[in-house]
């Protein structure tokens, strides 16, 4: 689980950088703090799923989260 969250955090950080967004901007759009965003980008398992979702939404990536456990994805 921790390895998967670290990968998710890395992917979120990379997505933010690809969009040329600062941590401050993404944190503001996600209604969270920069330290919390830093914890997400590190894959901190103690951060709530709701905050992860808010950050994904701020990056325009929330749809992917909604499909994670969908029946279509469940082989």
pLDDT in tens, 32-75: 999 999 999 999 999 999 999 999 999 999 998 988 889 988 88
What pTM value is reported for the model?
0.91
- The whole-number average pLDDT for the span 6-32 is 98
Output 36-45 pairs: Cβ under 8 A, ≥24 positions apart.
Answer: 40/9, 40/12, 41/9, 41/10, 41/12, 41/13, 41/16, 42/6, 42/9, 43/2, 43/5, 43/6, 43/7, 43/8, 43/9, 43/10, 44/5, 44/9, 45/1, 45/2, 45/5
- Residue 1, pLDDT > 90, answer yes
Does residue 12 carry a pLDDT above 90?
yes
């Amino acid at each position: 689980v921790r390895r998967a969250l670290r990968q998710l955090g890395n992917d979120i950080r990379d997505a933010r950088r690809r969009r040329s967004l600062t941590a401050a901007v993404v944190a503001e759009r996600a209604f969270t703090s920069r330290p919390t965003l830093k914890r997400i980008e590190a894959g901190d398992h103690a951060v709530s799923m709701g905050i992860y979702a808010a950050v994904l939404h701020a990056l325009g990536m929330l749809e992917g989260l909604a499909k994670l456990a969908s029946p279509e994805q469940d082989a």
